[in-house]
């Protein structure tokens, strides 16, 4: 299998056939073997039966159907896991991405990238969404040194070997390019056309702003300190401890050398507080280390092998 298309779909009954026919036209012109994996994310409308209709006439259409709505991250994860193509394309089911951009993205991928993200340079969404996305992407660029304009765009193409290294849970599908970037994959982008949503409605409103921000903080933290929590907590803890040690020494000097009373001094309280906080932070770091250590075995591997020759898997 050369190409897998993964499509998360939640209540998109009117878009399914349209997307399928547009997609098929483009895919046929590529002369590559392909599969189209629809993941019905527990839709309550006729999305599933629409997809089933397609499969009757075209066995390249494959279907995964969830028992209930598990959200886009799960839909994507399930679709990616089931895919078998050397190249994987993810695209929304809402017909806001134009399948005609796929050849352009694939060509760019062949320039030596591991993943290409479709940059919706002129976004056809409500204003609050466009602004939120701009701010979000700016933060991401600042925090991660990844020069991508549209990180949360779900229109992406990637190579097979990237897939097992993506940990997609809850809101984290928006950070796929960051996760891949942190693991050393080369990420590029191409401008793609964004279309107005014609049928159905968007499932995400303003409510994802704060959760998105939390996700961003946690991904930054997980990426940098997951393996060494003590470096983070220990750093802060040492600062407090050192300050406490200095002010404590000063108090001892006053008490025993200058023979003055220190019991009434606010500095005494501060010293106790600093030492207390410092110890707390260091022990939190140590507990973090223990957790990391015991969960490490269950995680996906920490390293990425891009190619291997003469090695049996």
Binding site for ligand UDP (CB under 6 A): 8-10, 12, 41, 69, 71-72, 75, 92-94, 96, 202-204
Beta-ladder partners of 64: 39
Rounded to 5°, angle at Cα 291 from 214 and 238: 75
Which one, 42 or 244, has the nearer CB to ligand UDP? 42
Order of strands, sheet of 3-9, starting from the edge strand that comes earlier in the sequence: 61-65, 34-40, 3-9, 87-90, 156-159, 115-120, 187-192
Binding segment toward Mg ion, per CB under 5 A, in 22-30, 49-57, 93-101, 232-240: 93-101
Which one, 117 or 162, has the nearer CB to Mg ion? 117
List the single partner that 224 binds among Mg ion, ligand UDP, none, CB under 5 to 8 Å by kind.
none
* Contact between 152 and Mg ion per CB under 5 A: no
* Contact between 94 and Mg ion per CB under 5 A: yes
* Least CB distance to ligand UDP at residue 82 (A): 15
| Helices 13-29 & 102-109 angle (0-180, nearest 10) | 50
Q: Which residue is nearest to Mg ion (CB)?
A: 94
Rounded to 5°, angle at Cα 40 from 38 and 43: 150
- Of 65, 30, 35, the C-alpha closest to 50 is 65
* Least CB distance to ligand UDP at residue 70 (A): 7
Q: Interaction with Mg ion in 179-208: which residues (CB under 5 A)?
A: none
Q: What is the rounded CA–CA span in Å between residue 235 and residue 232?
A: 5
Three-class SS state of 1: coil
Which one, 92 or 114, has the nearer CB to Mg ion? 92
DSSP string, 237-298: HHHHHHHHHHHHHHHHHHHHTS----TT-HHHHHHHHHHHHHHHHHHHHHHHHHHHHHHGGG
Which one, 134 or 299, has the nearer CB to Mg ion? 134
Which one, 24 or 96, has the nearer CB to Mg ion? 96
Residue choice 11, 24, 43, 96 for contact with Mg ion (CB under 5 A):
96
Q: What is the rounded CA–CA span in Å between residue 32 and residue 191?
A: 23
* Least CB distance to Mg ion at residue 64 (A): 20
* Contact between 11 and Mg ion per CB under 5 A: no
Binding mask 37-76 for Mg ion (x = CB under 5 A): ----------------------------------------
Which one, 195 or 287, has the nearer CB to ligand UDP? 195
Binding segment toward Mg ion, per CB under 5 A, in 86-94, 97-105, 181-189, 236-244: 86-94
* Least CB distance to ligand UDP at residue 142 (A): 22
Q: What is the rounded CA–CA span in Å between residue 260 and residue 46?
A: 83
**What residues contact 111, with CB distance under 8 A and at least 6 apart?**
188
Q: What is the rounded CA–CA span in Å between residue 100 and residue 191?
A: 12
Which one, 96 or 271, has the nearer CB to Mg ion? 96
Binding segment toward Mg ion, per CB under 5 A, in 3-11, 77-85, 87-95, 243-251: 87-95
Kind of pairing, strands 61-65 and 34-40?
parallel
Residues found near Mg ion in the complex (CB under 5 A):
94, 96
């Amino acid at each position: 299998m050369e190409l897998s298309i993964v499509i998360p779909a939640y209540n998109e009954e009117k878009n399914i056939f349209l997307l399928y026919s547009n997609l098929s036209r483009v895919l046929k012109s590529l002369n590559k073997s392909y599969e189209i994996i629809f993941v019905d994310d527990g839709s309550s409308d006729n999305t599933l039966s629409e997809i089933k209709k397609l499969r009757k006439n075209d066995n390249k259409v494959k279907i995964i159907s969830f028992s209930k709505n598990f959200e886009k991250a799960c839909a994507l994860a399930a679709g990616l896991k089931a895919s078998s193509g050397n190249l994987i394309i993810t695209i929304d089911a809402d017909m806001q991405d134009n399948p005609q951009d796929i050849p352009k993205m694939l060509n760019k991928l062949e320039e030596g990238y591991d993943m290409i993200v479709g940059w919706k340079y002129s976004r056809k969404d409500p204003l609050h969404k466009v602004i939120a996305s701009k701010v979000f992407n700016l933060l991401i660029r600042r925090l991660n040194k990844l020069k991508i304009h549209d990180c949360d765009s779900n229109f992406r193409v990637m190579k097979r070997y990237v897939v097992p290294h993506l940990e997609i849970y809850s809101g984290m599908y928006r950070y796929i390019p960051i996760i891949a970037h942190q693991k050393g994959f080369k990420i590029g982008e191409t401008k793609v056309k964004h279309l107005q949503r014609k049928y159905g409605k968007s499932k995400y409103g303003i409510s994802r702003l704060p959760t998105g921000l939390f996700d961003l903080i946690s991904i930054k933290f997980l990426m940098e300190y997951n393996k060494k929590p003590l470096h983070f907590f220990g750093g802060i803890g040492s600062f407090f401890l050192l300050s406490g040690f200095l002010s404590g020494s000063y108090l001892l000097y006053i008490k025993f050398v200058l023979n003055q009373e220190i019991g009434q001094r606010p500095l005494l309280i501060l010293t106790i507080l600093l030492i207390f906080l410092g110890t707390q932070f260091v022990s939190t770091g140590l507990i973090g280390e223990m957790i990391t250590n015991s969960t490490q075995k269950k995680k996906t591997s920490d390293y990425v092998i891009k190619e291997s020759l003469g090695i049996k898997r």
